[in-house]
Structure 1
Amino acid sequence: MTATIRLRAAIYARYSTELQREASIEDQLHVCRRLIADRGWEIAEVYADKGVSGSLLLRPSFQQLQQDAGRGRFDVVVSEGLDRLSRDQEHIAAFHKRMTFLGLPIVTVAEGEISELHIGLKGTMSALFLKDLAQKTHRGLEGRVREGKSAGGKSYGYRVRREVRADGSVTTGEREIDQQQATIVERIFRAYAAGQSARTIAAALNAEGISSPDSGKGDGTWGPSTISGNWKRGTGILNNELYIGRLVWNRQTFVKDPATQKRQARLNPASAWLTEDVPHLRIIDEDLWQEVKVRQGAIRAEINPAGVLGGPNRPERARRPNYLFSGLVTCGCCGASYTLINKTRYGCAGMRNKGKAFCTNGATIRREEVETRVLSGLKERLLHPDLIAAFVEEYRRAFNEAAADASKDRDTQTRELAQVEKKIAAMLSAIEDGMYHSSMKAKMAGLEDEKTRLTRALEEAPEPPALRLHPSLSELYRERIEDLAASLQDPGLRLEASEALRGLISEIRMLPDEDEPGGHRIEISGALAGILALGEPDGRKPRLAAGAGAWSGTVVAGTGFEHCLAIARARRPRLTS
């Protein structure tokens, strides 16, 4: 007798945060185990995501379930309901399609075996549920704000107040002033109104070891943005109207990007904002608040006299690097960006913005010197004799590949022409033997047209010539590399050449060193070709896909020899055979 094969079942359970608890997982597993026992299956794997919304795709256990499905670790997927697997129409449809491809049925306690009909109907219902839940949540938060309570989050300067009601429940949304933090808030306002910058204030707070508002999730240090924030969105210490006893809610809406699954904040029109007076939460008096607002407005007008920031966001305003290595230079001591601290010199933004309590690197260096040293290091290695030989070999390989493709097409067309001519000859021979038929006329016309087409194609694509390397090929390569700096300064070529060069470099680390030029040792890392290792004493034939490495003061090897050639090509026409 043939033994009965028992299906291996994988259970998936999930609960989100709304009105559910961790015990919900056990409840789901219990009903799924009962279904599996009734069907005579066996449990192979159990997957559970706790406290995660069904609208999210990147759930750890859900992702693991899909990976194990591809490895054949079970034969059927079991869940309490389709909405436990996902509440997103696109995600549940993709999951069903994937399981169907793998031959794995989906069975739920609530719906039975899932079909395309369930995907359509339940997917729509889940999407409507999420929309309805969002509207109800929004309405509930609005009610709390109208009562002067918190709608979520905790501003610096306040703490949550919990009280037990007569029925034993605990109050929520109540806040009270934290006097210690309120003193810091008032200090920030007074210092800013007195003329200190947000950067100076942040550095002073860090020097005293005062924890910032994000100390629970960040590094605990103050930064200029923590203080200045965004005046339009009401973020930052200086823009929080709660400090003057005014609770403003619904300034912005968060929308999830379907491609990245990340939330993006969108500013709501002022008409949609909800404002409630909460005088018991006032920390800053009105006069001090207005002094700060006047100074902020004056600074904005000075920085942007044309008022461009008040206009709509447009793609053409997207920020582009102002200089060759903008955004790539970092501090080797703390990891912060090295930015222009004035018109000509780079310095550590961490030390400048957060003070010496965050980073002690106060060294600066001229921007032109950084660019010159980096380009010189690249040029020196690119001019190594073995690298020049590699360039010639690369050119030879590319030429031969192109020639091989052309030769292959020509050979194919030659064979096809021979076959056509053979068919024409056979047909003429049949006619001579008296086997003519009226249908042969159309057939002969078609063959003649095909012969004409192939003949013309062969004439227009002559046989590829043999590779003849120009005797000055190596010298031309050398000239192009020598012209690297000029290519990057030529207005007509700067954009293309600089983008190619930036594609080679991911980071330029600046380490203060009094014995080095400019008081800095430079370490560069990125996707440079392994051929740059040829500058080392033991350099050998370059590898076109080498792993990462590093040289102090010079360059770091990676992949991308073609980028080196792209920069070199920027100044002159392409080489021809």
Structure 2
Amino acid sequence: MDAAEYLRKSRMEEGMDTEEVLSKHRSALAKFAAEHDIHIIETFKEVVSGESLYARPEMLRLLQDVEEGRFDAVLVMDLDRLSRGRMKDQGIILDAFRDSGTLIVTPEHTYDLSDDLDDEMAEFKTFMSRREYKIINKRLRRGLTQTIEAGCYVANAPYGYRKVYVDRRPTLEIVEEEAKYVRMMYDMYVDGYGCISIARYINSLGARPRRCDAFNRTTVAGILKNPTYIGKVVWNQKKHIKKGAKGNPKHITIYQPREKWTIVDGLHPAIISRDQYDRVQAIMGQRYIPPSNDGTIRSPLAGLVRCTKCGKNMQRMGANKGVAYLLCNTKGCCAGAKFDLVEQAVLSQLSRVLVQLTLEKPAAPVKSAAGYAEARLTAIQKELAAAETQKNRLYDLLEQGVYDVPTFRERMDAVKARLSALEKEAGQIHRDLDDARQADPTSLAAKISAVLDTYDSSDAAHRNALLRSVIRTIWYTKEKKTKPADFDLQIDLVPY
């Protein structure tokens, strides 16, 4: 059977190196798969820890593939690895496997949720796992305050450190290859450089942060404000707002104000002296600092405007004089513009679209676009047939001894990846064609009219929601040394 494998470290393995643990699990599952004629076609490696399903990106990706019926089974070390969090999350996960007919395979047992006995066993085991999880969490919370006060609590190692255990207590040790860049950031800030200039210089030296491709204003500012670098342990720096709360379209992490932090002396060595840290904080206090994220949408254009040259989201930033600008943080990219000018230009374009939809007939290019889509569907069907033929041919070549098993698996993986990509593309084209057939210009006109009628009386979050109801993306272009209003906007509307 074709299967995926899901790797995730358990709480019992806390303190052990994540990569080492997952590597051992992968070897064990590979051995099990070989012994039971299971072909592993994809690996989902969860390296982040989170109770909520939405905090586990690999699980979300796996569930999407499971719902599409891409695998016959999913291999996992035990059922607990899939979920021991909230009952709602456990239900979502089990329903995905149950509805798609996908097996859950562990070295101890194979769960077929279409079988009543296996279904009850899986539900009972996840229930007991949840109960055990809650007991462990209570014990952890009970001892958390004492652990923090002892200076040995470490949630995640910041840039410049790695997490280690001394006498079974978590602490940090310096990673010199990263720590030298941390010292450089503090030195440059004291010398008068801003966070963006520091980020560009550090990136030019080849340094990279751990969770993104390059340093930016936010990551540098976070390092400059972090008391961990002077030997402190910091707790309660951030909180989370779940998807849908406060009008947010996605899960949001909020960095809390300093007065809400818990700060105690740590056991780890300092990278920065207290004197230099205090000098940096004093300079920061005198400079303009953009408002921190508290989970509230302040910009009507949040997440909508993207730079045409680099493709990244444009940022709304204020200034000492109180004038907000829309800027691209990529060096040498599009020039910025006053935020109010861009906002008014967006509304003006929507007004023009409304007039066109009201007075003109549906545009002819829709038919030609549909014709192109149908032609592409025909081509995809031919490619799918060819790939299926190639897949069957691979089995023949394996039986004839032309391919050894590793070569067969490598080429079979490539064919199946091609089949999966073609099937996804065909599915998307079918959905687009359905949208086009159901297209009604009057419905979009009604939506745009409602947006324009209520826009002025709405707050920023509501304005953002209104614009998102009719706009998918706004592409922004502006050359340097041009007049304030000399920018170009290309608006991609949502399918109507």
User: Shorter-normalised TM-score: what interval?
Assistant: 0.5 to 0.7
**In structure 2, what is the equivalent of residue 559 of structure 1?**
495
Cα deviation 1:35-82 (Å, max 9, x = unaligned): x7xxxxx8687776445679657535565445328xxx86x9887754
* 1:101-250 equivalence runs, <5 A: 109-110=108-109, 114-115=117-118, 117-131=120-134, 151=154, 153-156=156-159, 158=160, 173-175=172-174, 180-181=180-181, 183-188=183-188, 190-191=190-191, 196=192, 200-203=194-197, 206=200, 215-223=209-217, 225-228=218-221, 236-245=222-231, 247-250=232-235
Amino acid at match of 1:275: V
Distance 1:54 1:252 in 2: 17
Amino acid at match of 2:80: D
2:243 is equivalent to residue 276 of structure 1: no
1:248–1:346 distance in 2 versus 1, CA, 3 Å: closer
Cα deviation 1:180-205 (Å, max 9, x = unaligned): 435424424524xxxx5x7x353256
Report if the CA contact (8 A) 1:54-1:87 is conserved.
Answer: no
Report if the CA contact (8 A) 1:16-1:50 is conserved.
Answer: yes
Q: TM-score, normalised by structure 2?
A: 0.53
Q: Tell me the SS of whatever aligns to 1:512.
A: coil
Distance 1:129 1:120 in 2: 14
**In structure 2, what is the equivalent of residue 68 of structure 1?**
69
Report if the CA contact (8 A) 1:251-1:269 is conserved.
Answer: no
Of the two structures, which has the highest relative contact order with CA contacts closer than 8 Å and spacing of 6 or more?
2
Q: Tell me the SS of whatever aligns to 2:329.
A: helix
**In structure 2, what is the equivalent of residue 16 of structure 1?**
8
Distance 1:137 1:279 in 2: 22
1:280–1:261 distance in 2 versus 1, CA, 3 Å: same
RMSD: 5.9
2:489 is equivalent to residue 512 of structure 1: no
Distance 1:268 1:347 in 2: 25
Distance 1:263 1:518 in 2: 33
> What stretches of structure 2 of length at least 5 have no aligned partner?
14-20, 363-441
Cα deviation 1:170-226 (Å, max 9, x = unaligned): x984326677435424424524xxxx5x7x353256257655975344343441x33
Amino acid at match of 1:512: E
Deviation at 1:248, TM superposition (A): 1.2
Deviation at 1:127, TM superposition (A): 1.6
Report if the CA contact (8 A) 2:315-2:328 is conserved.
Answer: yes
Deviation at 1:517, TM superposition (A): 6.4
Distance 1:297 1:22 in 2: 46
Amino acid at match of 1:206: R
Report if the CA contact (8 A) 1:336-1:348 is conserved.
Answer: no
Amino acid at match of 2:270: L
Distance 1:365 1:272 in 2: 36
Report if the CA contact (8 A) 1:333-1:511 is conserved.
Answer: no
| Identical-residue share of aligned pairs (%) | 16
1:46–1:503 distance in 2 versus 1, CA, 3 Å: closer
Distance 2:307 2:4 in 1: 46
1:490–1:289 distance in 2 versus 1, CA, 3 Å: closer
2:108 is equivalent to residue 87 of structure 1: no
Deviation at 1:328, TM superposition (A): 4.5
Report if the CA contact (8 A) 2:455-2:463 is conserved.
Answer: no
Residue of structure 2 aligned with 1:251, choices 236, 242, 245: 236
Equivalenced residue count is: 378
Distance 1:148 1:210 in 2: 36
Deviation at 1:522, TM superposition (A): 0.5
1:130–1:263 distance in 2 versus 1, CA, 3 Å: farther
Amino acid at match of 1:16: R
1:290–1:32 distance in 2 versus 1, CA, 3 Å: closer
Q: TM-score, normalised by structure 1?
A: 0.47
Cα deviation 1:90-149 (Å, max 9, x = unaligned): 454455556556678878635987445424431122123444566788899999988877
Distance 2:326 2:109 in 1: 63
Residue of structure 2 aligned with 1:526, choices 487, 492, 495: 492
**In structure 2, what is the equivalent of residue 538 of structure 1?**
none
Q: Tell me the SS of whatever aligns to 1:350.
A: coil
* 1:260-339 equivalence runs, <5 A: 264=253, 273=262, 275-277=264-266, 280-281=269-270, 283-286=272-275, 288-294=276-282, 296=284, 318-321=296-299, 328-334=304-310, 335-337=312-314, 339=316
Deviation at 1:509, TM superposition (A): 0.6
* 1:346-357 equivalence runs, <5 A: 346=325, 348-350=327-329
Deviation at 1:242, TM superposition (A): 3.4
